[in-house]
Chains A and B, each alone.
Chain A
């Protein structure tokens, strides 16, 4: 159990377009989900905390208007990269906290590689 599905696995888009990434908890409810960004050979940088039914909490330096997060249900959070540019190219990973307890272990999606041309 405790599977997190993330789609798409990779996406290539043109500069200026928007891209939506989905993160689904398949067999549990996730009140809280987290979105991370990872550059090659670097660590995972927390972008934002997504809470079901409320606005996401963004980390300092992350543009909320560029990285739109929607957590409309207990099993789905989406990250939309708006007006993507080449510098947005990165590996994006979501994770979900089971049972609404953020101090339990997190379950990670398999990540999305975004390449902006």
Chain B
């Protein structure tokens, strides 16, 4: 069975600075997708970024980028120029037929 581990329950960062959220996963599959989702206090799940495992190039979406290390089964999220609106729970997720979430990291961006 696949598992997703986020070892940082809470993180904080100063506005405009950069923060990296960690995620590791375990799978025997070779083809899969990885995601980072944001869940603000409204609890609506918002897709931040998506990575196909067969692509070596790291995905980037504006201020958000990932460091995907397939051999190490690591998928970290870097948020650059952090903004107050980035304050939320962030979930790493693995998908191969069904979407499995990590435990989450609560990120606080401080002014």
Contact present for B95 and A111 (CB under 8 Å):
no
Contact present for B97 and A108 (CB under 8 Å):
no
B109 within 8 A of A: no
Stretch at the interface among B16-24, B41-49, B74-82: B41-49
Per-residue B-contact encoding for A7-20, CB less than 8 Å = 1, 0 else: 00000000000000
Number of interface residues of B (CB under 8 A): 21
Chain B, range 86-104, C-beta contacts under 8 Å to A: 91, 95-104
A67 within 8 A of B: no
A95 within 8 A of B: yes
B50 partner, pick from A41, A102, A105, beta carbons under 8 A = A105
- Contact of A95 with B99 at beta-carbon distance under 8 Å, contacts A44-B91, A103-B33, A111-B43 already known: yes
24 A-B residue pairings within 8 Å (CB atoms): A34-B98, A38-B43, A41-B106, A43-B104, A44-B45, A44-B91, A46-B98, A46-B101, A49-B98, A95-B99, A102-B95, A102-B98, A103-B32, A103-B33, A103-B95, A103-B96, A103-B97, A105-B47, A106-B99, A108-B44, A108-B45, A110-B43, A110-B44, A111-B44
Chain B interfacial positions (CB closer than 8 Å to A): 32-33, 35, 42-45, 47, 50, 91, 95-104, 106
